[in-house]
């Protein structure tokens, strides 16, 4: 059985870490390099960096930031935001990223998933899915959550796996930043319908939320931002508490 991973996420805008609620109302959460170093020391298993406005802006500064971060880190880190070509990925991997995350670009051009998997290996390709329940249907959203698509979440996850994705980063937009707990329903649905690892994201507010997502779904990773950024949950303490609940962590 795969050991569970605790993954802090740093949303980057203009070189700073920011955090909002339901993808809106962003506030500054600190320097990404300092946070990255802190999380590694605390025992994070991986880190995710998302350049949340990269789709709209020039992304050169972000490559520099990735290079600076990679000098400070020994744990794996995933980079996402504005990636739409093999060349984009090559630059980020050369700058030190271990994996890349694609979202809007994969929805617009699903072949990008297989192109990247063929070029760099499936283990490098994370497909991020931003999902929101509209009526009774879970729909994939793109452009930083601003635009609904007609793709249903489970079907898109299955398609991404078939195309060569190595992992799914599943963010519940309904849960994002609310601290009311991970969306167990959609996480369970997706993780039971595919065989590649699923990282649950959106809604972590307490240690108990991590216990539930690992006990009640097949997610192999749990990602959170504000509870770590604002020192509400200490990663070392979280992992110790998961172990006491017989949850196998790295």
Q: Catalytic residue positions?
A: 11, 130
SS (H, E, C) 89-133: HHHHHHCCCCEEEECHHHHHCCHHHHHHHHHHCHHHEEEEEEEEE
CA-to-CA dists, residue 158 to 129, 138, 196, angstroms: 12, 14, 10
Distance CA 240, CA 60 (A): 39
β-pairing verdict for 24-30 and 16-21? antiparallel
User: Angle, nearest 10°, between helix axes 60-72 and 86-94?
Assistant: 40
d(CA 161, CA 196): 7
Q: How far apart are the C-alpha atoms of 47 and 36, rounded to whole Å?
A: 7
Residue pair 167/126 in contact by the 8 Å Cβ criterion? yes
């Amino acid at each position: 059985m795969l050991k569970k991973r605790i993954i802090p996420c740093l949303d980057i805008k203009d070189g700073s870490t920011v955090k909002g609620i339901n993808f809106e109302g962003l506030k500054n959460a600190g320097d990404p390099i300092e946070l990255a170093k802190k999380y590694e020391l605390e025992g994070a298993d991986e880190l995710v960096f998302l350049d949340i406005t990269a789709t709209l802006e020039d992304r050169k500064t972000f490559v520099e930031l990735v290079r600076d971060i990679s000098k400070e880190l020994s744990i794996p880190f995933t980079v996402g935001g504005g990636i739409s070509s093999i060349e984009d990925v090559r630059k980020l991997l050369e700058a030190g990223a271990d994996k890349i995350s694609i979202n809007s670009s994969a929805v617009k051009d699903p072949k990008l998933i297989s192109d990247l998997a063929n070029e760099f290996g499936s283990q490098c390709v994370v497909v991020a899915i931003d999902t929101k329940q509209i009526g009774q249907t879970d729909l994939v959203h793109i452009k930083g959550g601003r635009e609904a698509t007609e793709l249903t979440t489970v079907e898109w996850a299955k398609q991404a796996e078939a195309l060569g994705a190595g992992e799914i980063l599943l963010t519940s937009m309904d849960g994002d930043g609310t601290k009311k707990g991970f969306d167990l329903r959609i996480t369970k649905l997706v993780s039971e319908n595919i065989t590649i690892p699923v990282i649950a994201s959106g809604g972590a507010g307490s240690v108990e939320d991590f216990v539930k997502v690992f006990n009640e779904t097949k997610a192999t990773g749990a990602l959170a931002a504000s509870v770590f950024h604002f020192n509400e949950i200490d990663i070392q303490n979280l992992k110790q508490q998961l172990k006491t609940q017989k949850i196998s962590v790295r």
